[in-house]
Structure 1
Amino acid sequence: MASPERGIEVMIETMDYVDSRFTLDLMLVANYNQEYFNKLQAMVEKRKNVRILPPVSFEEIIPFSAQYDIGFYILKPANFNHLYALPNKFFEFIQARLAIAIGPSPEMARLVQEYNLGIIAKDFSAKEMAQSLNALTKEQILQYKENANQTAKILNAEKEGEKLLKILEEITQ
C-alpha cells in the first residue's frame, strides 16, 4: 500500500546510489492518499532503474516474486508498530526464496540474522542501504536465496499454525 507512513521514497532514493546491476520493481496499491502515490510515480519516472508494476492477486504474490533475487524493504521506525514490524512481505520474501535486504528493524533483523537470509543496513538511509547492496556478491545472493529456501520450510503458515493449535490446546485444557 502506498502510504506515507511507510516511507517508500527512501527505497526509491536508494536506487540513485546502487551500481548498475540493481533495479527496483515496486507493486503499489494507491490508498486514501493519492497525492503520495502521485509523488512516488513522479520519483519513479525520473529513474531508469525503478518501475511501478501493476499489483497481482494475493495468491500470485509469492510465485510472481520468485523471479527476483532480493526482497528489499526499509521501514523507518516512525512508531511502535513500525519499529517492531514483521510484515507479511517479509515472509513472502522467504517463501519466494529471496535474499533479503532490510533496514535495522529489530524483529526483521533478528530473523535475517538467525537464518542468515541477507543484509541489514546500518541505518534507514538510502545511502547506507545502497552501500550494503553494492557490497553484495553474486555468490552471497545465491547463498542467501538458498538459506531462504531452507528457512521457508521452517517459517511457514503450516508450521506456525501447528504452534498456534498447540498453544490453544494448552489454554483450553
Structure 2
Amino acid sequence: MNSKTLIGIVVVLIAVLGTIVLIHQHQGGRFDDTAAVDVQSLGERAAHVACDGADPGLLPGIPSDLPRLVDLGADNCIPCKLMAPILQELKVEYAEVFTTHFIDIWKNPDAGRQFSVRMIPTQIFYDTEGKELFRHEGFMSKQDILMRWRQLGVNVSTAG
C-alpha cells in the first residue's frame, strides 16, 4: 500500500470518528464548547442571539418593511462564528436597507425544520413580501452577501 493511500485512509477514519463524536454529543443534548471561542467575548453577541422559538415575523411568507437576511447556524459552529462579526456589521451598517437575523438551530431545532435547513450556516434572503429570493449554504463573506443583495435588486450602495 503506498503512502498516499494510507494517508487517505487515516484522513477518512479521523473524519468518521469526528462525525460520530459530534452526533453522540448532539444527541446527548449538550455540546462541549470549552475549547470554543465565546462569541460574547468577541463583542459580537448582538448578531448571535439565539431565539427560543423562530420569530413568526421571520418565517417565509410574512411581509416586512425591509428585505431580510436570516442566517441559521449555531454558536458552536466554526463557520458560524466566523460569520458573527459580518452579521453584526451588516445589522448596523445596512439597518435602513435590510434586516439581519441569526437563529441558533442547535438551541432551537424547530427553527431548523421550519426553514428546511440542511446544513449550517445557511443564509436565506427574503423580499418585503416574505418570498424567499435566494438560499446559500456555508460561509458567506460580507462582500458576497452585498453582491447577492445587488443581484436581487436591493440598493446596498446607499448604506455602509
TM-score normalised to structure 1 length: 0.28
Q: Which structure has the larger Rg?
A: 2
Which fold has the larger relative contact order, with Cα–Cα distance below 8 Å and residues 6 or more apart in sequence? 2
More helix per residue: 1
TM-score normalised to structure 2 length: 0.29
